[in-house]
Structure 1
Amino acid sequence: MRDVVVTQDEGHRQSNGAKRFAVEVANRGGDAVSGIHLMCGYNFRTVRPVDTDVIVEVGHGNCLLIDGGSIAPGGTVSFGYTSYVRYDMTLLATTYDGGSS
């Protein structure tokens, strides 16, 4: 799982007091990865809807990226969310060609 890097930047506060956050998930390894699950807080809620084609909560604190699809070596997936709280967005699980990590 060390080949998948999750970064998050905090943007400016919105007029309603919420902040905009930008998240990037990068595959720094030599194999494609799929089935990427991120820890996304116990109850991932946003002020503005997120693109469910990119990230969706599948259980408490468990968000699935790109419907379980793959990220090629060197590839990235980015998404943003607006919230009053920052979710830690850490990697829970991923699958590499030939096995799980």
Structure 2
Amino acid sequence: MSTLIKRKVAMAALRADDAQGQPSIHSIRYRKKDGTLGYKAHVSKSFRHLPGASKYRGQVSLNHEFLFRNHDESDPAQQHFRILIDLLVEVDGHIIDHTNGEYRS
């Protein structure tokens, strides 16, 4: 059975570096815009700017998205991708609680 973790705990885990100062590797499950679920087994945070008119801003609260690097993708041009934070469902098998506790019983 999966455990429930708060959104800010999930974001902190995704931003954490390992003991050597490299981004830590995680598995994520996310909801795609068409409603289906997506899964990536080996991702880490990324600091690379994606092509386009606007650049990725490092302060997550301003852009509501997280920039990842997919370590299972062999094509370097396809390794970096963005996911809206609200569409993240699971990190490392832990279900993300996006409610901030407003629905407590």
Larger strand proportion of the pair: 1
Q: Which has the higher contact order (CA 8 A, sep 6+)?
A: 1
TM-score after normalising by structure 1: 0.23
| TM-score, normalised via structure 2 length | 0.22
